[in-house]
Amino acid sequence: MGRKIKFSLLYRDMWQSSGKYVPRLDQLEQVAPHIVDMGCFARVETNGGGFEQINLLFGENPNKAVRAWTKPFKDAGIQTHMLERALNGIRMSPVPADVRRLMFKVKKLQGTDIARSFCGLNDPRNIIDSIKYAKEGGMIAQAAMSISYSKVHTVEYYTQLADELVAAGADEICLKDMAGVARPAWLGEIVKQIRSKHTDIPLTYHGHAGPGFQVATILEVCRAGVDYIDVAMEPLSWGTGHADLLTIQAMLKDAGFEVPDINMKAYMKVRSLTQSFMDDFLGYFISPKNRLMNSLLIGPGLPGGMMGSLMADLQNNLASLNKWKRKNNQPELSEDELLVKLFDEVEYAWPKLGYPPLVTPFSQYVKNVALMNVIQMEKGGERWSMIADNIWDMVLGKSGRLPGKLGEEILALAKKEGREFYEGHPQDPYPDALDTFRKEMDENGWDYGQDDEELLELAMHPEQYRRYKSGAAKGDFEKDLAAAKAEAASAGAGAGAAAPVAQPSSMQIEVDGQKYRVRVSYGDEVGAGDAQESAAAPAAASSPNSASGTGEPVVSPLEGKFYFTKDSSETPIKEGDRVQEGDVVGYVEAMKTYNAVKFDKAGTVQKIVVSNGADVDEDDVLVMLS
């Protein structure tokens, strides 16, 4: 019998790579004992990424969910692991260092053994901080390298990165092949070189089925020295997800490896329960296309976990683009035509943006820039005319160092706009914040929770936690589900069939006589609610297209949600303000990025037409300027 290979079940990630939501706590508790009974898993992924935000959106307490979900595995001697995004913790935006430190302590006390930490740019500074914080919190520090395939992502690049992470104290190394684009022999060589230098360190391979390399890659990395393989199972394996347990077990057994036996009765029970969760409600939010593997993904290298959101973005933008084309007497595009144009543009734009590994959030950033480029060029415009602020943060080095050099056209654009590059540590601009959140909890009479876990939840996901506490999140989820069921029913679909996902919802609240519009944001691969919190601004009485008066209209350049500010440090414009050319009107949030809308001339804000948080279409009037 050959070398032993162990399996890790990605039960949470199975769902996140397929659709919008993950199972509720009661469903997780129902399925967990049967996963244990399968008898073949050394590890199970239990939280991290979008898992906890989705609990909040259900109106469930995520800390209770994590404790209940980890317990049966801990009792059975199965290790549990979580995914965290280094500087971004378990959300899309940067997290203060004291909040990051608290996260590891809380997760260990909740029953999670291993912290799988990755930086979306592979900047070792961000990962090394997580290694240090994880070990301080008593967790096993597994450092993950985000695998991309390009001329800068070489065997030497990854082996040197692994050396640096091990030297910094990483207990384990994970090869995170988030798009499944690693060529089998190439990744096998990387594993072989890491294993030759670090003979005792555990190695894990994590990959997506996506473009179809994964099964061959798993065989190669096992032969080269990997110890753990992440797997999924039916009915959510393959497609944009991960390889199925049964296939991988049979392949490795035949190749002479020692692999665990599978209790097939328990396997079928877990399979049946998983299908029942889809039939209950989760299937309404899973696109049938996410069940398919797609070799077109080889070129752009986009990760499977974001394909659900990509297709939704594509459909929304296609409708808007074709509306423009009809108005301008141009032939419309089909979804497939736009998809191919998008994939081609990703291949063009990615090197110009410095080859960031295509993993959350930077895969979304590259895709967003590429899609905006395609749309602008289809309308006779130029590339790079719509780059959101958080994408600029990536370009300028505020999230970490890019692996490659920026293209000359991006450097020229940065110079033209007067943007400054950042060379410091990515954590430095984000000061400690726990005292601020303690004050908020004290003022609201909220309990810090066992092991300060409720304090962590507020600090990590402020907007989502507040909406959970108010009950608004649960109400919005129930409306979202009702809308999805109604749409499926109107289309003649049965329970569990995929249906178009409802748009993010908003509500109007009144504070001291002043009306404000606030909203909750739903997400996908990264989990719902990862968008940055928006400061409230006074709600306007008019609709986006009801502009009146003699002023000059300022219009939205694209479809999305309009906000006057993107964080609490900004002051929203108000009627009567004198503004200069280049001043910010507000932001259109589209595809998880905030796109600044600026005044193209000086003047006075005569009338605010749109409400904060309102849905806007391209060319909708936002304000009137005189």
* First CA to last CA distance, the chain: 81
What band does 218 get if pLDDT is binned at 50, 70 and 90? very high
Look at 189-198, 316-325, 445-454, 571-580 and tell me which has the smallest mean pLDDT.
316-325
Decide if 139 contacts 115 (C-beta within 8 A).
Answer: yes
Q: Above 50 in pLDDT, residue 497?
A: no
* Residue 442: DSSP 8-state: H
Query: Which element (helix H / strand E) includes 348?
Result: helix 335-352
**Which distant-in-sequence residues (6+ apart) come within 8 Å of 525 by Cβ?**
16, 17, 49, 50, 303, 305, 306, 308, 309, 360
Distance CA 81, CA 84 (A): 10
Residue 565 buriedness (CB in 10 A; 0-12 / 13-18 / 19+): buried
Higher pLDDT, 51 or 241: 241
Domain 6-290, what fold?
A: TIM Barrel (3.20.20)
Higher pLDDT, 16 or 189: 189
Domain 503-626 has CATH 2.40.50.100: yes
Q: How far is CA 75 from CA 36, 68, 69, 113, 503, in A?
A: 10, 11, 11, 13, 41
Tokens (6 digits) for 279: 């039939």
Nearest Cα neighbor of 248 from 272, 270, 217, 211 is: 217
- Sheet order of strands, 615-616 included: 593-598, 584-590, 560-563, 615-616
β-pairing, 114-117 vs 140-146, is parallel
Residues in the chain: 626
pLDDT score at 595: 79
Q: What percent of the chain has pLDDT over 70?
A: 88
Decide if 187 contacts 217 (C-beta within 8 A).
Answer: yes
pLDDT score at 19: 79
Distance CA 342, CA 296 (A): 11
Q: What is the pLDDT of residues 103-144, one digit of tens each?
A: 999 999 999 999 999 999 999 999 999 999 999 999 999 999
Residue 543 buriedness (CB in 10 A; 0-12 / 13-18 / 19+): middle
Q: What is the pLDDT of residues 448-461, one digit of tens each?
A: 999 999 999 999 99
Distance CA 325, CA 510 (A): 41
pLDDT score at 304: 62
What band does 1 get if pLDDT is binned at 50, 70 and 90? low
Q: Above 70 in pLDDT, residue 370?
A: yes
Q: Supply the Cα-derived Rg of the chain in whole angstroms.
A: 24
Q: Above 80 in pLDDT, residue 509?
A: no
Cross-strand bridge partners of residue 190: none
User: Average pLDDT in the 157-183 region?
Assistant: 96
pLDDT score at 69: 95
Nearest Cα neighbor of 110 from 53, 56, 163, 46 is: 46
**Which distant-in-sequence residues (6+ apart) come within 8 Å of 193 by Cβ?**
155, 159
Q: Is 6 helix (H, G, I), strand (E, B) or coil?
A: strand
pLDDT score at 543: 44
Side chain identity at 294, as an amino acid letter?
A: N
pLDDT score at 287: 80
What are the backbone angles phi and psi of residue 135, rounded to the nearest 5°? -70, -35
Domain spans in the chain, listed from the N-terminal domain onward: 6-290, 299-386, 503-626
Q: What is the pLDDT of residues 57-86, one digit of tens each?
A: 888 999 999 999 999 999 999 999 999 999
Nearest Cα neighbor of 252 from 596, 469, 3, 12 is: 3
Q: How far is CA 7 from CA 69, 230, 245, 262, 508, in A?
A: 18, 6, 8, 11, 48
User: Average pLDDT in the 357-375 region?
Assistant: 88
Distance CA 304, CA 180 (A): 8
Q: What is the pLDDT of residues 186-209, one digit of tens each?
A: 999 999 999 999 999 999 999 999
pLDDT score at 620: 86
Decide if 345 contacts 382 (C-beta within 8 A).
Answer: no
User: Average pLDDT in the 498-507 region?
Assistant: 40
User: Average pLDDT in the 204-222 region?
Assistant: 95
What are the backbone angles phi and psi of residue 401, rounded to the nearest 5°? -80, 135
**Which distant-in-sequence residues (6+ apart) come within 8 Å of 449 by Cβ?**
63, 455, 456, 457
pLDDT score at 498: 44
Residue-wise burial string across 477-499, b where 16 or more C-beta atoms lie within 10 A, e elsewhere: beebbebbbeebeeeeeeebbbb
Give the mean pLDDT of the chain. 86
Tokens 């939010």 map to which residue?
A: 285
What band does 300 get if pLDDT is binned at 50, 70 and 90? confident
Q: Above 50 in pLDDT, residue 156?
A: yes
Q: Above 60 in pLDDT, residue 527?
A: no
Distance CA 525, CA 176 (A): 14
User: Is the Cα torsion angle 13, 16, 19, 24 positive or negative in sign?
Assistant: positive
